[in-house]
Amino acid sequence: MKILISNDDGYRAPGIEALHAALRDIAEVEVVAPEHNNSAKSNALTLHQPLYVHPGAEGVRYVNGTPADCVHIALTGLLGYRPDLVVSGINNGANMGDDTIYSGTVGAAMEGYLFGIPAIAFSQVEKGWSHLDAAARVARELVQQVVAQGLLTRPAPFLLNVNIPNRPYEALGPLQVCRLGRRHAAESVISQPSPRGDTMYWIGAAGPARDGADGTDFHAAAQGCIAVTPLQVDLTDHDALGDWTQTARTLSARSPKA
Ligand code: MN
């Protein structure tokens, strides 16, 4: 089994080092990860500057680009083969609810998924890396289970978003499959005068959970469970297709020339 590992916190982050160490004796692993922190870069690709790949310690490679850049160039020529699985993380902080839209951790996994390869994004719920050993063990066990159940050889790939509470391994609850919750809008932008008299703006912190009902990732994680959400990429609002079809008929009945 061949696994491509990436992340968004940068190739020297403790989370990717722990993930690499947890997976390298159960699979052939390659790490291709961003040089610098690329949190909240989503699926961004770098199109207007060249990308360079550099060797780091222990066979790791790092790139002056985004998480999606790393996976994209790995899959389109750098590796020279097709991995069986793409894993991303372990991220420094939760990627639940609306976070998944912004997350570079999810973006790296999604890039693999878009190429038809099963992919898993791993995040720790709290920042700061406490109990990272437990999260890495969970990641390793989940990968082993996915392999043992033959899920990598199914015709359709999957994309899993996994959030692991920062607890000792023995204190973690079971895996709970859940939908994404929602967050409140982010906090206000923070403005400050720059040393040269301009106004600088800092994006505010993410909002707290707004929909953390039973069945959501927020709820599962708050109970100490490992929150597992299967994701898809189709953004179509399928429930609204009928209504909008009706609305479009009304709109097109009004000819601008009438
Ligand atoms: Mn991150």
- Residues 26-67 pLDDT 10s: 999 999 999 999 999 999 999 999 999 999 999 999 999 999
Is 198 inside a domain boundary? no
Given a contact cutoff of 8 angstroms between Cβ atoms, the answer to whether 121 and 109 are in contact is yes
Return the percentage of the chain with pLDDT > 90, whole number: 91
Is 202 inside a domain boundary? no
CATH number at residue 149: 3.40.1210.10
Separation CA 124–CA 233 (nearest Å): 23
In angstroms, what is the span from residue 169 Cα to ligand 1's centroid?
22
In angstroms, what is the span from residue 248 Cα to ligand 1's centroid?
41
Is 145 inside a domain boundary? yes
Given a contact cutoff of 8 angstroms between Cβ atoms, the answer to whether 85 and 108 are in contact is no
Is 194 inside a domain boundary? no
Question: If you count them, how many residues does the chain have?
Answer: 258
User: pLDDT of 178-202, one tens digit each?
Assistant: 999 998 888 899 999 999 999 999 9
In angstroms, what is the span from residue 18 Cα to ligand 1's centroid?
15
In angstroms, what is the span from residue 100 Cα to ligand 1's centroid?
11
- Residues flanking ion ligand 1, Cβ below 5 Å: 8-9, 39, 91
Question: What was the pLDDT predicted at 251?
Answer: 81
Is 203 inside a domain boundary? no
> Across the chain, which distance is largest between two alpha carbons, in Å?
72
In angstroms, what is the span from residue 155 Cα to ligand 1's centroid?
30
- pLDDT, mean over the chain: 96
What band does 254 get if pLDDT is binned at 50, 70 and 90? low
Number of structural domains found in the chain: 1
163: containing domain: 2-183+210-254
Given a contact cutoff of 8 angstroms between Cβ atoms, the answer to whether 15 and 9 are in contact is yes
In angstroms, what is the span from residue 122 Cα to ligand 1's centroid?
10
